[in-house]
Structure 1
Amino acid sequence: MAFFRKRGSAWEFRISFIDRRTGKTKEKSKGGFKTKKEAQIAAAEAESAINYYGFNENGNEKVDKYFEEWLEIYKKPNVKPITFSVQERNVRLNILPRWGNYRLKDLTRNEYQKWINGLRGHYSEGTVRRIHSIFSTAMNDAVHEFQIMRENPIQKIKIPKQVDKSGKVAYFTREQLELFLDCVKTPMKNAKYQHSIQYYALFTLLARTGLRIGEALALTWDDLDLNEKTLAVNKTLVYPLNSQPYLSTPKSEKSERVIRLDDVTVKLMKRHRVNQKEVCLMYTNYKPTKDNIVFHQHDGRWLRTNVVREYFKEVCKRVNLPVLSPHALRHTHAVHLLEAGANIKYVSERLGHASVKVTADTYLHVTKKIEDDALTLYERYVQI
């Protein structure tokens, strides 16, 4: 029920209601109306909204305070630590610097769309989509979980498309891969453990299996059955910045898989297993791993992801190849398989992709060539 009173020359309404979220009695008031009739119309609209939504629109919370609570309550307990780390970093580095001082109810679709358009000048389409997804999910929770807003103000936002698809996938040609691996065979002059073939084994394994770097670094010798020529992927190593590494479940359900190894890879991994023990005997400060780790630091701990990346870049520079990242070896394996005529479903399963569509979309330039070649074969066939 609404109550009205005149304060000076203006009218004010006051409404009492039960907040469905808390069960407590609350009040909403607003003044500044020139006539009582105007106050009555506004009060009726407010009562109608309260009856529909069950609460009075708030939205006065500042964005930075809201995201602090949202991350802690709705994200941290429900996602993997590495996922939470990525989301928290995006909030801290991208969202809060621009929107932190805004109140939730001050967010507007037009201003937000302009910001999204601007982000595309600095980030890829995929990165911008991730940032927007975090923001939009948080706003949906403000509506449906926290119930402090009536609607998501940033719905139906358009992410500018990636126009130029060239160079989307970085990989080595067969000749470049051979040059790269030949270089890794020879230890760098300043390498501390000259007898070790660990990096040669690691990069060869990545190039011939399509493993993700985290999957490879998480391997223990128990995961490899070199007699059956198989490798089991059932975990991944996560190495957060300025934090301790830990083992996590694979990226997706399809990422947990068993991979067949070719003879060259089997032979090299057997050699690496022996070499690993030899290096421990040759160098007094090189300790054997207690956890049966396939690739490890000199003190027996997990090999650091950033160290592997830097080593990879140095090799690229030494042989004048494009300076890529170890993930390029995963792309390289996929491209080479497809170019060799492998079935795309097999490639998708070997890589641990969530679906064949992911594989096809990622390696569009290769699958297009496969389609063209297939069509050429068909044309030749029907002309006979």
Structure 2
Amino acid sequence: MAKITEYQTSKGKFYRFRVYAGIDEMTGKKKYIKRAGFKTKAEAKKELVKLEYDVSNGNYFKPLDSKLFKDVYLMWLDQYKTTVKESTLNKVLSLFKNQILPQMGLYRVDKLNLASCQKAVNVWASSSPASFKQLLGYASNVIDFAKRLELTDRNPFKDVIRPRQKIIRSERNYFEPIELKRFLTIAKKMGLKNYAVLRILAYSGMRIGELIALTWDDVDFVNSTISISKTVARGGGNKAIVQSPKTPASKHLLVMDNETMQVLRRWQVKQASYLLKCGINAMSSKQLVFSNTKNEFLARCTVYAWVKKICAIDTSLPKITPHGFRHTHATLLLSAGASVKEVQTRLGHEKVQTTLDVYTHLTKQDQKATINKLVKYLG
């Protein structure tokens, strides 16, 4: 009979044992059954006797079929999809369909070796340098799941060598103060809707998905605030869906400047006139603040096209993306003297480190001020 041992935890004294169960047919290694958490030695002994009887009669272990990676992935997916938002699930499904399964799908998890995993990682690092860490992480998660199911006893992904990545420095994705002014001057000439969208992105720092999801009940003209409580993302079938913002901290109230709110008020009046002509109830509180000609969600690519057009008119402007306005907003706030904590709150970041890591750019004006401080100090 196996030995029952005593152990101590913060909750008190307990008993445990380990039973030898023979050789695992799948791995060729010794198999043990561990049990712990018994409050008395008598309870442990009772369970031990039962297990030893089952093992000796061949009733405990049942042969497990060797599984392919793609089979284990489907089992893992059943658990994973209950833990994430639909938009996240949609992205992960795409990663597996287009990248992971083509490389790993037909491997048997119990026969998977380091060489096979390293080959896949090298392919991902070469073809998808921006996402290869995610690909490695998700593939490794599937094998970890296989280990929990006792389909394999190792995860070779844990031992792969991560290829060194070249850091590609792209053009800055934010405007200097004078550049933002020039940009918005051109935007104003394009039309009230274009100007309202681009000005709100620049003066609020909200994410593009949060802007697209805005309804008029989110806007408080009396107190000059905009409530961020939802975002538009892509769900199954690449369909636009409304869901909660990126993090719990993303739900927040933005205090806006008077001029931006006046622009928004003028847009509300113009939009209402258009909707009434189309026979749509413009007074609905759930009416989208910005929509397309069919009164559906405004497309991200539409906003990107507006930005691209303006940057083509003034070629001296950096070619930023719609998300670049969030970078611009944070950078200019910091340049204006706002604390990192204030910027974190305004952007709706869960952690202040995110603000520090992503948005602490130095504008040209800041760089000049920095060196001037040194010159002044040295006299």
Is the TM value for this pair above 0.5?
yes
> Which residue among 67, 79, 96 is the counterpart of 1:74?
79
Task: Decide which of 301, 310, 313 is 2:305's aligned counterpart.
Answer: 310
Question: Matched residues in 2 for 1:204 and 1:69: separation?
Answer: 47
- For residues 72-113 of structure 1, what are the alpha-carbon distances to aligned partners after superposition, in whole Å with 9 as ceiling and x for unaligned? x11222211101001000000110111112111233234423
Aligned to 2:294: 299
> In structure 2, the residue corresponding to 1:265 is in which secondary structure?
helix
Deviations 1:98-141 (A, max 9, x none): 1112111233234423432443333344x222222211222222
Distance 1:58 1:371 in 2: 64
Residue of structure 2 aligned with 1:95, choices 100, 105, 119 = 100
1:85 aligns with 2:90: yes
Deviations 1:179-232 (A, max 9, x none): 322222223xxxxxxxx6222111110111110011111111111212212111
Are residue 275 (structure 1) and residue 270 (structure 2) matched? yes
Q: How does 1:145-224 map to 2 (within 5 A)?
A: 146-160=149-163, 163-164=166-167, 166-167=169-170, 170-187=173-190, 197-224=192-219
Residue 259 of structure 1 is aligned with which of 233, 241, 254? 254
Aligned residues: 333
Matches within 5 A, 1:1-384: 46=29, 48-51=30-33, 60-71=66-77, 73-125=78-130, 127-144=131-148, 146-160=149-163, 163-164=166-167, 166-167=169-170, 170-187=173-190, 197-240=192-235, 242-280=237-275, 284=278, 288=282, 290=284, 291-320=286-315, 321-366=317-362, 377=373
The residue type equivalent to 1:173 in the other structure is E
Cα-to-partner distance string for 1:167-188 (whole Å, 9 max, x where unaligned): 375112223322322222223x
User: Secondary structure of the equivalent of 2:127?
Assistant: coil
User: Residues of 1 paired with 2:143 and 2:365: CA distance?
Assistant: 43
* Matches of 1:344 and 1:370, distance apart in 2: 15
Say which SS state the counterpart of residue 253 (structure 2) adopts. Answer: strand
Structure 2: distance between partners of 1:303 and 1:179? 25
TM-score w.r.t. the length of structure 1 is 0.74
Cα distance in structure 1, aligned partners of 2:242 and 2:188: 29
Contact 2:70 2:105 in 1 (8 A): yes
The alpha-carbon deviation at position 148 of structure 1 amounts to 1.7
User: Shift of the alpha carbon at 1:304?
Assistant: 2.3
CA distance in 1, matches of 2:86, 2:124: 26
Cα offset, 1:164, TM superposition: 3.0
Q: Which residues of structure 1 form unaligned runs of 5+?
A: 1-24, 31-41, 188-195
Cα distance, 1:376–1:50 mapped onto 2, change above 3 Å: farther
Letter of the 1:65 counterpart:
D
* TM-score (ref. length: structure 2): 0.75
What RMSD, in angstroms, separates the aligned Cα atoms of the two structures?
A: 3.5
After TM superposition, give the deviation of residue 233 of structure 1 in Å: 0.9
The CA distance in 2 between the partners of 1:289 and 1:157, in whole Å, is: 59
Please give the secondary structure, in 1, of the residue aligned with 2:158: coil
CA gap of 1:163–1:267, structure 2 versus 1, over 3 A, is same
Q: Give the distance between the partners of 2:205 and 2:97, measured in 1 at CA.
A: 33
Deviates more, 1:218-227 or 1:81-90: 218-227
Alpha carbons of structure 1 residues 271 and 103: separation in structure 2 relative to 1, 3 Å: same
Cα distance in 2 for residues equivalent to 1:63 and 1:289: 54
Note closer, same or farther for the CA distance 1:294–1:29 as it changes in structure 2 (3 Å cut): closer
Residues 209 and 161 (structure 1), Cα distance of their counterparts in 2 relative to 1, 3 Å cut: farther
Q: Distance in 1 between matches of 2:283 and 2:240?
A: 15
Greater Cα shift, 83-92 or 149-158: 149-158
Q: Is the 8 A contact 2:252 2:348 kept in 1?
A: yes
